[in-house]
Structure 1
């Protein structure tokens, strides 16, 4: 390519010299242009450095030819003299009629077309062979970075009429070269297996079809080498070096061998740790943040965590641009290192203004009341980040980002800008099920979590099936007061024909009205109170079990109850939907007042926690224990207040509500052996969430593998009756709403348990 360019330049120079040498100086009376097809004469006159009336000599001749060649429009330019007329004769480059790309699978046609257009290889542009050559080189680089070394590119340029060309780029991608072997040479302390566990790249294994970790990538290898370096530096090998790396490919370009030569060095211990610089806060507050000390093995990871912890602490005092540099002093003779953390706090800054962008529906005041960082106050790193978390927890936004730009012309002010991406806050939830006993079941609920952008919630529930007829209207205001006291009410009517649910046979009509109040105690804790008035009408059937008939005989069939409930909530989850860290605890107590028709109480405790174990892996544990009983004149918890287990929200793999105690037949021998629920409940779940294979962005979709356990009991907990199930789950926040699927296999189902391996729930957003 270089020789070709040199020859062209040489010929051009010779041509210019001869052309200029053949022209005698003259005053230009007119300029005539010949050979134009697509380029206008005006374009040529615009680029020519001479005009009518100018004296034309050898110097201007050379400049004119250079100027026209630089436009890229012409393959050849000649200057001739016709009397005092300057004749410019050009041979235009062809234009591109069409660009076709064939055979590409790994890189999309749309992406390639955009890239080609960016370098000038697109329809209507002037064709330049050098540009096409550059395109081929870039394509090879892109495919090689994906491990496709068997790539073949064939470019075909077809000449068309009217000085046009059609460009066809034919790509044969070939197969991805697989890693045959990774060798580490020079490691004595750690085995190859220990070190290769740190690598993303690997030789083929059972999961390679999913992880693609057996496909070589230069970028992945660079990242693996950095992980290898960190592995040694975190274990005291301060002089560790990667001396060389060789990557070789077999002649058929299908297998790759990687050899990494390392020099381990020796282990260094920490001799002393010092804090110096302008500390700002008392040293006794910073000392607990130091995570590495004398006699410890040197660890770059712990030193980095110490620097960050000190920076964050200074950030809470307004020094959000503080730098904490770790300076090691190595004693080669003693194989020891003294660490000095030099603190440079920078200037203390305060927040001038907090801005919100992207909230086209949600009002600014709804976002602003979640702010823990205040305007005109010293900037605090933790408060800015906590404010971001609170916005994410609202559930109104698909994404929340924060920036802290400096205010122009100042050295001690910043603005805090939150950029949000709103998502539909309304939800139309629907559930559809089928069983031999119930047939088709349909239920729906309409919920608007952010009415008119105010943050208030209204929900209307409708359920009409052979099992339930439910109407419910609810209202909730999360900010009754500026301090965050919340409140709302619920009105509902529910008719339930339990005989259609394949549980104990009875029918209830319940009308209720309730009010709720929430009082925040601090950033993470709150108290909840509920007051509910219920009117219940109970109807038995000829096939009702003996327990139901006994209850009606003792308590009648119509009940008015007033119940009070109190609860404590501790919530540190980072998101309202698809959280990845933090947890929630809920303790609740409910009791009906003594002057009602029924006297009973219920208590429950629920724990949920998420552990981020890797970038895309989250482990979740969840457990709930509950108990209820009667008091005063009521000997037991009313059976229609029983707890149930089994189903998508409980123990997957079992048909909903079917686990636990069964009914006794009545005197006619009817109504026996049906699910009856229980007065106590114990359930738990352990689930590992992971991203969807082959999807780079799966924020709205995640998979999980789980183990469920639990059951409901008649008072006393019986751990021998715990049921277990395991399986796979999928949760998708689709444009139409939330969908959840599970495929589960019970591990110790008894003969009376109802198994339902596949379960799902569906919601439609608007």
Structure 2
């Protein structure tokens, strides 16, 4: 088949060459076309041919028109051969169609999945249903090789097999011999004097291999990774005063066997400069003092390009607050080479004021436009305000619906005082299956899961069904939240739940505690970051005594009955100015909640306060703190209900201890919680080795302290439990996953230890 196709290709070339000679070799006297017939069509529609002919029935035919017709039909790319024949006044168009690609298959491909390769070939024009062309098949083979070279598989070979089938179709099979990937065996940096080779090589995203290379593939050459490495190298020098640092050249050498790669980077460090001063120049709108306060460049310290970039960005953003969307601030260095000092002149040109014409949103395939637009604080037809745009972006990010958000300012052609904001979002799956698991000698393996949809039907509403199938703790809970129950942002939450807990098997009891109820809560936003919640609920709690019931439960039931009804009224406040709800790196979250039960036979008050603080200590490192305090008591002559107790221990609390087992114990050994709670957590989040700046996969070290106390117990620091450990945080397709290995460092006899814990869908 290959030979026959090559003959067809040759015939095509002969036909094309013949076009130039047609007028001289097969000259036909002009005539009026009485009819046009087409012969040889199989799949191509006759209308496609007729539309390409420069003449119609009843018009005059000439050799020039015939030559143009043949050229146009060949230009369609559908035919291997085209001839024009004349029978009287009838013109016959004889064509030979190109074969059509019936199927594309791959053999020997392990590095790529089939869909990736099919997409790559489709982009160059080779796909099922399209005409076959040998030149296109050759391009496809080269494209496959390019794909493999991008993965450092320089020895990959591609063989194309063409198999003819019925109805003038062909199947294409690309057989790939991948070979072994080329490894980086040597990296040399030439020209460095101020810093050692080892220090500079640690900055690069490519290396000669390590214990995690099987996962990171950092020893495989990639032009993208090399460019990122060069930028990291340049940034390192420019942060340390080397104002004139440059990378002269980069050589990448591949061994003859295509298995080893050597990289040589030639640099010129230049002299190190110290900042002697900073001067403002240009138009600062008469607010020089405000702009000076934004300068982070410190005289007397080495020149730092990051500080310069940070200052320029802060200034342009500040100009944007006044509507100057096109403001430019340029840092001009005035170098004194005799003393190796540099004075920076910050020249500003605010340009013209602008207002926003339109806000265009793209990328939201599932999420409705209104869900994004209602978070915008920058309005259309109002003055451009960079602070409002930044807050709008943070609010959209805090929704948790998108993997990436980019807002671009675009000038409106012909309107120098107008801009459009193009908002591009990349959606992520918002439905999740939340899993929890733990193993202990008492409960063995405990499992639970939550089906959650944070963006139900693209409306921004939250739906959740929580099921726990544990032998000892069973839960069914349904929750729905409408964040914009009213147009001005008042939210409404509805909750219905049923929970039943039983003692551990090794405690020899079969009593249970069952709670059924529902709640309605409204959230009223008072500022951009402050929301106050008002709620009311109804719940019924039943104590089933069974055997070996804790004395605290039995005492409460004997005094107030085995069934208790409560009508809790809740009032809470939340302030959230974090940069992201999913992967925060800066900002603070605070929650203050008060609960009052005074309208039924259960009478109590209960309050809690939580604060989370995120501090960026470097570009990819974040320090996080969490603190929780809870307190409750009974009203009048009634004690604090035992089934309203606080609990601590486990993920989200004090890691290294079994979930909810800290605090007071009954004489039976059961953990019954307490009316007072204190938990403190600290975490240092770092990049996962080899993952670069990917915030969705991080390592963290942590220290936890906390406990719960009875209503008559004093809160004593000496009674706090503590643990330290390491963990992994991953934004998985099922939701945020956190795996922790903790070593308790302060324990008491009887504490239930659980060193390894994981959960999907929790923080701290």
Alignment of 1:610-689 (within 5 A): 610=614, 620-627=624-631, 639-663=642-666, 665=667, 671=668, 673-686=669-682
Q: Tell me the CA shift for residue 213 of structure 1.
A: 0.7
Q: 1:244 aligns with which of 245, 249, 262?
A: 249
Which deviates further from its counterpart, 279-288 or 742-751? 742-751
1:4 maps to none
1:709 maps to 704
Distance change >3 Å, CA 364–CA 124, structure 1 → 2: closer
Report the 3-state secondary structure (helix = DSSP H, G, I; strand = E; otherwise coil) of the residue aligned with 2:610.
strand
Contact 1:491 1:512 in 2 (8 A): yes
Alignment of 1:689-700 (within 5 A): none
Contact 2:182 2:259 in 1 (8 A): yes
1:722 maps to 721
Contact 1:503 1:676 in 2 (8 A): no
Distance change >3 Å, CA 171–CA 340, structure 1 → 2: same
Task: Kindly indicate whether residue 218 of structure 2 is the aligned counterpart of residue 222 of structure 1.
Answer: no
| TM value normalised by structure 1 | 0.76
Task: Kindly indicate whether residue 577 of structure 2 is the aligned counterpart of residue 572 of structure 1.
Answer: yes
Report the 3-state secondary structure (helix = DSSP H, G, I; strand = E; otherwise coil) of the residue aligned with 1:210.
helix
Q: 1:346 aligns with which of 342, 346, 351?
A: 351
- Structure 1 Cα separation of the partners of residues 126 and 485 of structure 2: 62
- Structure 1 Cα separation of the partners of residues 109 and 612 of structure 2: 47
2:322 maps to 317
Q: Tell me the CA shift for residue 171 of structure 1.
A: 1.7
- Structure 2 Cα separation of the partners of residues 291 and 229 of structure 1: 20
Contact 1:529 1:567 in 2 (8 A): yes
- Structure 2 Cα separation of the partners of residues 384 and 330 of structure 1: 37
Contact 1:210 1:693 in 2 (8 A): no
1:606 maps to 610
Task: Kindly indicate whether residue 300 of structure 2 is the aligned counterpart of residue 289 of structure 1.
Answer: no
Q: 1:181 aligns with which of 180, 183, 186?
A: 186
Q: Tell me the CA shift for residue 204 of structure 1.
A: 0.7
Contact 1:467 1:501 in 2 (8 A): no
- Structure 1 Cα separation of the partners of residues 220 and 411 of structure 2: 44
- Structure 2 Cα separation of the partners of residues 557 and 70 of structure 1: 89
Task: Kindly indicate whether residue 229 of structure 2 is the aligned counterpart of residue 191 of structure 1.
Answer: no
- Structure 2 Cα separation of the partners of residues 493 and 168 of structure 1: 59
- Structure 2 Cα separation of the partners of residues 425 and 254 of structure 1: 43
2:5 maps to none
Cα deviations by residue, 1:284-336 (Å, 9 ceiling, x for unpaired): 11001122244332222221111111010011111123222222333444433
2:303 maps to 298
The gaps in structure 1 that reach 5 residues or longer are: 1-6, 666-670
- Structure 2 Cα separation of the partners of residues 71 and 627 of structure 1: 80
Distance change >3 Å, CA 282–CA 10, structure 1 → 2: same
Which deviates further from its counterpart, 557-566 or 277-286? 557-566
Contact 1:619 1:688 in 2 (8 A): yes
Contact 2:11 2:80 in 1 (8 A): no
| TM value normalised by structure 2 | 0.76
Q: Tell me the CA shift for residue 148 of structure 1.
A: 1.1
Distance change >3 Å, CA 130–CA 497, structure 1 → 2: closer
Cα deviations by residue, 1:316-361 (Å, 9 ceiling, x for unpaired): 1111232222223334444333322222223212234556678899
Contact 1:250 1:256 in 2 (8 A): yes
Distance change >3 Å, CA 446–CA 183, structure 1 → 2: closer
- Structure 2 Cα separation of the partners of residues 44 and 450 of structure 1: 51
Contact 2:742 2:756 in 1 (8 A): no
The gaps in structure 2 that reach 5 residues or longer are: 1-9
Q: Tell me the CA shift for residue 222 of structure 1.
A: 2.0
Which deviates further from its counterpart, 294-303 or 470-479? 470-479
Q: 1:103 aligns with which of 100, 108, 116?
A: 108
Distance change >3 Å, CA 165–CA 586, structure 1 → 2: closer
Q: Tell me the CA shift for residue 130 of structure 1.
A: 3.4
Distance change >3 Å, CA 36–CA 195, structure 1 → 2: same
